[in-house]
Amino acid sequence: QVQLVESGGGLVQPGGSLRLSCAASESIASITAMSWYRQAPGEQRELVATITSSGTTSYADSMKGRFTISRDNAKNTVYLQMNSLKPEDTAVYYCNARALRIPSLRIQDYWGQGTQVTVSS
- The per-residue pLDDT for range 98-120, each reduced to its tens digit, is 998 888 888 999 999 999 999 99
Q: What are the strands, taking DSSP E only, across the chain?
A: 4-7, 10-12, 18-24, 33-39, 46-52, 57-59, 67-72, 77-82, 91-101, 106-111, 115-119
Residue 1 has pLDDT above 90, yes or no: no
Give residue-wise pLDDT tens across range 50-86.
999 899 999 999 888 999 999 999 999 999 999 999 9
